[in-house]
Amino acid sequence: MTISKFLNDKFNLDVICDEEGVYSYIIHTIDNKVKLDKVSSNISFSKSVLLECDDDNFISLKYFDDEEYQIFSLDGTKISEMEYLDDEYEDVNGDVNIEKSLIFYSKTWDRRYLRIDLQEKLSISFEVDYDKYDTDEDGVIVWE
């Protein structure tokens, strides 16, 4: 499945590609909620992430500050798998946690993944996929 089909289906969007075959999405906060939208001419990029992808599942992420200046960019990474986490669980302290995250995997990222959290605050992290590591008899990860 392509990234654009996955995002369009999951978030009920109708983003179509531009003349260069690129699909453009914006991840921003509206009314204290993080939202994934299609890019339109009247949307501000202030404190937002521009997510672009194509039909070959190459992805680009760009983060803009409050003055719409590009602060961070991740370009040209081919995504092999993706998932959307939508979970509510109780932690060991009895607190209820809500998890809404986009997860992207790439074969070029050895045992790592890109996570975009879509809770009250936008958060992007490049994380270690601990499930991909062997553990010893005590459950401790064996770092190679």
Sheet holding 81-90, edge to edge: 81-90, 96-105, 112-118, 122-128
Structure confidence by residue, pLDDT tens digits, 59-94: 999 999 999 999 999 998 999 999 999 999 888 999
Hey, where are the domains in the chain? 3-132
Average pLDDT over residues 25-43: 88
How much is the pLDDT for 127?
Answer: 86
- Residue 138, pLDDT above cutoff 80: no
Helix locations, 32-84, DSSP H = none
Q: How many CA atoms lie within 13 A of 18 on its CB side?
A: 10
- Tell me the pLDDT band of 141, cut-offs 50, 70 and 90: low
- Global pTM reads 0.84
